[in-house]
């Protein structure tokens, strides 16, 4: 349990029923761990974790879980009714760009039909008051410009992953306008973040997990796009945004049921090469080399403008991009060199840093 001397999110989640999809994934498992620390009664819905090691199994959390596919509406509906949640966080997704090229139909059906199923099930679950649907920074029509995308910019997405998440945004908009306008209807918002880093991620074709795997074999990472820019941030930064947004929705705050960006303040000039340099400061064994092989299309310039979240939600990052990357390297080093899973400790440290900085969700 969270230290009761602190009161993150004004105690909103303490003893509250929360439904979390995708809880066995990288971001979802961190979310489950934090929600439990906040005192929430968490029910998860996800596929069983694949591969070993995996973060979900490492955490060993004691919570109600349904292992099923988000595309199975009946199973999803039954799980929601049983959990009777007041708020739903939808993180279940096919979340990898390069996998989406190999498996486009699965990506589309999971990310679009899965989101529609989730909203349809919520529509038929009387207890639900708020829903936060997590999409991605890659949902925007990428024009390869240097400034960050705002929530009012055009949706698009080049690869099947980004385009399917843009379509998921339209599904949410349609459900909101068609079914969630009556008094007492759930408030539904979307949250856009990307390139989150943190310990416990072993996804294939993702920069830091690939780098960690290379270290374990005394190898060198084949680097695809060293000059590409990304909005690097620790996974806890995006989760704090989701939790703050959920807090506002549970307060019945109409006008917050919109799309929101959650990105770092220093995202526009932070390249892959730069991020690797920060990681190697904490873990000198890291090695990489640049590949000259032809690669599937990925955006070169990508950044988010989070002014809306800062001005209206009061949300700001706690850790800089540098700090987030350093904490990530530290997590992996502790795991591989000492066998320690430091997720819980990092959440406590993050919350303490937020309190020290008078971050709004700790005040």
3-state secondary structure 231-280: CCEEHHHHHHHHHHHHHHHHCCCCCCCCEEECCCCCCCCCEHHHHHHHHH
- Give residues with Cβ within 8 angstroms of 240, minimum separation 6: 315, 318, 350, 354, 359, 361
- Give residues with Cβ within 8 angstroms of 15, minimum separation 6: 39, 40, 41
Name the band, by pLDDT with cuts 50, 70 and 90, for residue 299. Answer: low
The pLDDT value given to residue 1: 42
What tens digit of pLDDT does each residue of 224-270 get? 778 887 778 999 999 999 999 999 999 999 999 999 999 987 655 68
Residue with tokens 């109600």: 64
What average pLDDT does this structure show over 102-123? 97
The pLDDT value given to residue 125: 98
pLDDT, greater one: 51 or 166:
166
Residue with tokens 């292992």: 67
The pLDDT value given to residue 297: 47
Count H helices and E strands in the chain, helices first: 13, 11
The pLDDT value given to residue 300: 53
Cα 38 from Cα 61, distance rounded (Å): 14
Ordered domains of the chain (ranges, CATH) = 11-294+302-362 (3.40.50.720)
Q: Is the peptide bond before 227 cis (omega within 30 degrees of 0)?
A: no
Phi, psi (deg, nearest 5) at residue 21: -90, 150
Average pLDDT, the chain: 91
Cα 57 from Cα 39, distance rounded (Å): 20
């Amino acid at each position: 349990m969270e230290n009761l001397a602190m009161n993150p999110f004004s105690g909103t989640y303490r003893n509250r029923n929360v439904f979390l999809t995708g809880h066995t994934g990288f971001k979802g498992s961190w979310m489950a761990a934090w929600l439990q620390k906040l005192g929430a009664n968490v029910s998860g819905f996800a596929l069983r974790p694949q591969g070993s090691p995996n973060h979900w199994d490492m955490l060993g959390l004691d919570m109600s879980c349904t292992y099923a596919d988000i595309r199975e509406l009946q199973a999803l509906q039954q799980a929601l009714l049983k959990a009777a949640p007041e708020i739903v966080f939808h993180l279940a997704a096919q979340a990898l760009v390069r996998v989406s090229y190999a498996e486009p139909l699965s990506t589309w059906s999971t990310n679009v039909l899965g989101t529609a199923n989730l909203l349809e099930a919520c529509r038929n679950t009387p207890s639900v008051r708020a829903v936060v649907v997590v999409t991605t920074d890659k949902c925007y029509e990428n024009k390869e410009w240097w400034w960050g995308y705002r929530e009012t910019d055009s949706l698009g997405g080049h690869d099947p992953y980004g385009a399917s998440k843009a379509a998921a945004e339209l599904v949410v908009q349609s459900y909101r306008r068609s079914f969630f306008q009556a008094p007492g209807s759930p408030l539904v918002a979307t949250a856009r973040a990307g390139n989150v880093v943190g310990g416990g991620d072993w996804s294939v074709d993702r920069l830091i997990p690939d780098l960690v795997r290379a270290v374990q074999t005394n190898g060198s990472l084949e680097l695809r796009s060293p000059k590409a820019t990304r909005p690097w941030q620790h996974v806890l930064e995006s989760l704090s945004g989701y939790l703050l947004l959920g807090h506002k929705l549970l307060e019945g705050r109409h006008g917050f049921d919109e799309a929101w960006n959650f990105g770092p303040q220093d995202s526009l000039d932070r390249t892959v090469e730069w991020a690797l340099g920060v990681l190697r400061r904490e873990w000198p064994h890291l090695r990489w080399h640049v590949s000259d092989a032809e690669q599937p299309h990925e955006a070169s310039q990508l950044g988010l403008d989070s002014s809306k979240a800062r001005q209206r939600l009061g949300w700001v990052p706690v850790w800089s991009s540098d700090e987030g990357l350093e904490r990530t390297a530290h997590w992996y080093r502790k795991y591989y060199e000492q066998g320690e899973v430091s997720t819980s400790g990092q959440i406590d440290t993050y919350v303490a840093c937020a309190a020290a900085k008078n971050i709004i969700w700790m005040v």
